[in-house]
Amino acid sequence: MKTKIQEKFATLFGEGGEMFASAGRINLIGEHTDYNGGYVFPGAIDCGIVAKIKPNGLGKVRAYSLDYDEFVEFGLAEEDKPEQQWARYIFGVCRETAKRGGKVEGFDTVFAGDVPLGAGLSSSAALESTFAFAINELNGNGIDKFELAKIGQSTEHNYTGVKCGIMDQFASVFGKAGSLIRLNCKTLEYKYFPFNPVGYKLVLIDSCVKHELASSAYNKRRASCENAAAAIRKNHPEVDFLSDAKRVWLDEVRDEIPEEDFLRAEYVIGEVQRVLDVCDALERGDYETVGEMMYQTHFGLSRLYEVSCEELDFLNKLARKMDVTGSRVMGGGFGGCTINLVKEELCDAFIAAAKEQFEAKFGHAPKVYNVVISDGARKL
Ligand code: ADP
Ligand code: MG
């Protein structure tokens, strides 16, 4: 990928330029916890975006996407928003940097990536954080890393219409090889934990389905969580978010809230605890416990939170049957990937069985990605 970028850059823009990169991400555990003020536990992965960039002194950006084989040129004022979706991410990052008082000089760039698009690995965050990081470096802006992540998030909000949380950009900017990052979504405090699963691999199995209900179901889940939190708050005023509540506090209000809200809250409170348990396990190097927690999360997402689907439950059940160490649906649910922690010697057999049996049942093959926890935004 780097060589191709170098060659194309030389052809289009000549000598010079510097290389920057950033990464997609996984979330090991901590699902549907962000809007409940709980923890997420992501890490950057070994696929991402690489860009070569050189200031051009022209007050505009000239960008070439190798993957789309497309050249776009745009100015740096608000009204210069380009048509192409991919270019809007770069434009948005320029605008959001400028809004924060950062200097943004015109530049030439050639870039490419290897994060599968729309698979739940956040290729868009990889793209944003590559450019947020690079523009900050090249212009000597000194914007801190958290603000760089927010530049990516605001780009999604204001230039592509995706109202995302901070996790994807946070992981992409802060990612470190061999570490996952526990982020407290209420206080934004974060802490690195070692993730060096020697003898295991992280395998993502992409069901390649996306069931429609996602957004209406999401709003209903949020309402249930808020309702449960409000009921608990009457007894325990310190509860800002559902994640602040103890399990016994939920039991106290069981008769006051609909059964459905109770189950949703039961999942969320359990999930917050599971993130903490996984962090403890990682400090001991206990990957078997990590795996067991992943299965518990899947159970909760499927039966209590009810955001799984037939395809994902099928993949999870197969993993359990084959003694895969850990497996769960990753992301919001109703489709996308399962994330699996698999003993190395079991990997080939598991992947082969998943492909064959999934295709036999659902009529199309899943996609498989092996990922390693790696560095996030950086200069190469
Ligand atoms: P994801 O879940 O992977 O983030 P999104 O729909 O949010 O999916 O973002 C995908 C979009 O990001 C693509 O449509 C494209 O505009 C941009 N993008 C991601 N990777 C690349 C790439 N390698 N080259 C150009 N654009 C990219
Ligand atoms: Mg995205």
Dump pLDDT digits (tens) for 205-244.
999 998 876 678 888 999 999 999 999 999 999 999 999 9
Q: Ligand 1 test: best mutation among 22, 47, 86, 110, most atoms within 8 Å of CB?
A: 86
Q: Tell me which residue of 272, 287, 217, 214 sits closest to 31, measured CA to CA.
A: 272
**Segment 325-345 mean pLDDT:** 95
* Partners of 176 in beta bridges: 179
Q: Strand, helix or coil at 22?
A: strand
The per-residue pLDDT of the chain, averaged, comes to 96
Ligand 1 atom nearest to CA at 160: 7
Give yes or no for residue 85 CB within 6 A of ligand 1: yes
Q: What is the mean pLDDT of residues 153-158?
A: 96
Q: Is 323 a catalytic residue?
A: no
**Whole-angstrom distance, CA of residue 212 vs CA of residue 214:** 5
Instruction: Say what the pLDDT of residue 214 is.
Output: 67
**pLDDT value of position 234:** 97
79-88, 214-223, 339-348, range with the lowest pLDDT = 214-223
| Percentage of the chain lying above the pLDDT 70 cut | 99
Task: Tell the burial category of 355 from Cβ atoms under 10 Å away from its Cβ (0-12, 13-18, 19+).
Answer: middle
The pLDDT value given to residue 211 = 85
Sheet holding 335-343, edge to edge: 326-329, 335-343, 200-210, 367-371
Q: According to the model, what pLDDT value does residue 67 have?
A: 98
Question: Which residue's CA lies nearest to atom 26 of ligand 1?
Answer: 86
Q: Average of pLDDT values for 130-149?
A: 98
Those residues whose C-beta lies under 8 Å from the C-beta of residue 106, and which sit 6 or more positions away, are 55, 56, 57, 58, 59, 60, 61, 62, 76
Handedness of CA 292, 295, 299, 301 (dihedral sign): positive
**Residues within 5 A (CB) of ion ligand 2:** 124
Looking at residue 54, what is its pLDDT?
98
The whole-number average pLDDT for the span 42-46 is: 98
Q: Report the greatest alpha carbon distance in the chain.
A: 71
118 C-beta closer than 6 A to ligand 1:
yes
Euclidean distance between CA atoms 60 and 113, whole angstroms? 23
The pLDDT of 21-31, averaged and rounded, is 98
Could you tell me the pLDDT band of residue 161, with boundaries at 50, 70 and 90? Answer: confident
- Which atom of ligand 1 lies nearest, measured to the CA of 117? 3
How far does residue 233's CA lie from ligand 2's centre (Å)?
A: 34
CB 177 within 8 A of CB 373: yes
pLDDT at 163: 82
Q: Indicate the range of 157-161, 244-248, 270-274, 340-344 predicted with least confidence.
A: 157-161
Q: What is the mean pLDDT of residues 70-85?
A: 97
Interatomic CA distance for residues 176 and 45, integer angstroms: 9
Ligand 1 centroid to residue 123 C-alpha, Å: 5
3-state secondary structure (DSSP) of residue 28:
coil
